[in-house]
């Protein structure tokens, strides 16, 4: 942590007054991610011991920025300590924006527009920036070649199929893997392959997308990344929207290269399959092997995608052993039972005013946590914020600059995280968390929204948010 604070002070010429761990937002990356703030400045610090991967991220970032692509600016680095400092792009991922603005398969138009912006940007990474990229720094491979594909398929076989207890004939499966690999490599693969192009790696700031986590990028086929985005498990995009976005991607791609749609589509669904298998391997490794249960809650979404593929897609090659294994997975009640459902833990988050009655716990559990935010700086006392709420950008920026707010929020998140993990292990169904402040308009609303984002991105629980005073105001 000290090295990040030194980098912060060296770049901004003010000390880092506060460091907030964003560990809950890590997913499966293994990095330590910290938000540092000091004065009016904010930055994201990364600690990660794999030098080659850090070098790839830093070089790619600078290369993409030279091409005008929206990726974080690199402020400072100390590779000997496995540390670097980058631009703070805020807290809203594309996945969080989608989750907060959908009702089942009905997705709000601003979310669809955000996806279209993301899709339109992808060819610029793949083609425009990919032409003069230094592929020598790619890690662990310079291309998505036979070895890369073998790693992914074996990751799926050993960490998902085997640990989930799905029966398979190993020799027959290996023969299918060989046929699938040969077919995948038949697609043109001289483009930049982002590798993890999915909704949690896209940040939204002022409605515009910014891109992260491309350090595993390498040379590869165009089909892989768009498949990653559109078949992103928990995002659970409706099939009609997936098709619309795929068509739009191909239209955008045609602005950079000549696109033969039939040739593209010949290999597309094979890349959809291999991406889903890679994701399942990751879920199995993190969930079954490392026993991080929330990763397994993505499995039923991947199974849903596999069932759709089985019903709607016929690959140009025969993969009987693999398809038998996938059919066994799709029919597995054990695997389907990993899905969050009405029986999973629901966290109800409230904001309220202490001048009025505290929210009632209708679950019968007795109230859960109540946090008093009145000790924090009050934006309501500032004229420019008086009519705004804790959901407005001006108020959010104001509170993000307060060290005490970060300390308060970090402590609250730690307590709630501990209870959520315990409740999930013990099979509890409801947890209530309330934030109160003087008027129930600024601080409590901000804190409730921050907790909701945190839980949606890291725990796989159902989250319900209510702002009691804002509801009365019609906001």
Segment among 52-56, 210-214, 460-464 with least mean pLDDT:
460-464
- Cis bond upstream, residue 49 (ω within 30): no
What is the structure's pLDDT at 458?
A: 65
Distances (CA, A) of 350 to 139, 140, 255, 436: 44, 45, 48, 8
What is the structure's pLDDT at 26?
A: 41
Asked if pLDDT for residue 79 goes beyond 90, the answer is yes
Tell me the per-residue pLDDT of 439-452, one tens digit each, with 9 for 90 and over.
Answer: 999 999 999 999 99
What is the structure's pLDDT at 342?
A: 41
What is the structure's pLDDT at 25?
A: 43
Asked if pLDDT for residue 212 goes beyond 80, the answer is yes
Q: Which residues contact 255 (CB under 8 A, 6 or more apart)?
A: 123
Asked if pLDDT for residue 220 goes beyond 60, the answer is yes
What is the structure's pLDDT at 282?
A: 95
What letter would DSSP give residue 28?
A: T
User: Mean of the pLDDT values across residues 191-210?
Assistant: 96
- Looking up tokens 């040739």 gives 263
User: Mean of the pLDDT values across residues 129-141?
Assistant: 97
Segment among 176-180, 246-250, 294-298, 367-371 with least mean pLDDT:
294-298
First to last CA, the chain: 40
Measured CA to CA, the distance from residue 33 to residue 227 in angstroms comes to: 27
Residue 20, strand partner residues: 35
**Domains delineated in the chain:** 2-87 (3.30.200.20), 94-336 (3.90.1200.10), 346-473 (no CATH)
Residue 347, strand partner residues: 431, 463
Asked if pLDDT for residue 475 goes beyond 70, the answer is no
What letter would DSSP give residue 158?
A: I
Tell me the per-residue pLDDT of 416-441, one tens digit each, with 9 for 90 and over.
Answer: 988 988 887 777 888 999 999 999 99
């Amino acid at each position: 942590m000290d090295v990040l604070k030194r980098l912060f002070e060296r770049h901004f010429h003010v000390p880092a007054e506060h460091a907030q761990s964003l560990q809950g937002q890590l997913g499966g990356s293994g990095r330590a991610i910290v938000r540092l703030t000091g004065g009016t400045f904010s930055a994201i610090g990364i600690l990660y011991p794999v030098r080659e991967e850090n070098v790839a991220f830093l070089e790619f970032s600078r290369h993409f920025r030279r091409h005008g692509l929206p990726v974080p600016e690199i402020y400072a680095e100390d590779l000997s300590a496995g540390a670097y400092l980058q631009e703070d792009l805020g807290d809203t991922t594309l996945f969080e924006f989608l989750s907060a603005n959908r009702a089942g398969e009905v997705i709000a138009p601003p979310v669809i527009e955000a996806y279209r912006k993301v899709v339109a940007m992808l060819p610029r990474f793949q083609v425009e920036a990919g032409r003069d990229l230094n592929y020598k720094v790619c890690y662990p491979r310079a291309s998505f070649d036979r070895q890369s594909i073998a790693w992914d398929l074996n990751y799926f076989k050993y960490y998902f199929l085997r640990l989930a207890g799905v029966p398979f004939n190993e020799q027959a499966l290996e023969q299918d893997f060989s046929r699938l690999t040969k077919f995948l490599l038949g697609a043109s693969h001289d483009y930049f392959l982002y590798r993890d192009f999915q909704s949690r790696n896209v940040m939204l700031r002022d409605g515009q997308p910014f891109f992260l986590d491309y350090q595993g990028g390498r040379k590869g086929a165009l089909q892989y990344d768009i498949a990653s985005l559109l078949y992103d498990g928990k995002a659970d995009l409706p099939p009609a929207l997936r098709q619309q976005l795929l068509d739009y991607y191909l239209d955008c791609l045609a602005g950079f290269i000549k696109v033969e749609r039939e040739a593209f589509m010949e290999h597309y669904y094979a890349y959809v399959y291999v991406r889903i298998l890679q994701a399942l391997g990751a879920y199995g490794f993190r969930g079954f092997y490392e026993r991080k249960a929330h990763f397994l809650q993505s499995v039923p979404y991947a199974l849903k995608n596999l069932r759709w593929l089985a019903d709607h897609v016929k690959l140009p090659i025969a993969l009987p052993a693999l398809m038998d294994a996938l059919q066994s997975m799709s029919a597995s009640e054990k695997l389907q039972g990993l899905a969050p459902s009405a029986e999973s833990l629901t966290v109800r988050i409230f904001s309220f005013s202490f001048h009025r009655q505290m929210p009632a716990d209708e679950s019968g559990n007795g109230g859960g946590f109540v946090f008093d935010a009145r000790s924090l700086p009050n934006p309501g006392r500032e004229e420019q914020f008086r009519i705004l709420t804790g959901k407005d950008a001006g108020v959010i920026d104001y509170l993000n600059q307060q060290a005490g707010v970060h300390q308060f929020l970090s402590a609250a998140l730690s307590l709630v995280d501990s209870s959520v993990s315990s409740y999930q292990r013990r099979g509890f169904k409801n947890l209530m968390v309330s934030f109160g402040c003087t008027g129930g308009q600024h601080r409590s609303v901000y804190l409730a929204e921050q907790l909701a984002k945190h839980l949606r991105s890291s725990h796989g629980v159902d989250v319900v948010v209510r702002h009691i005073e804002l509801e009365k105001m019609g906001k």
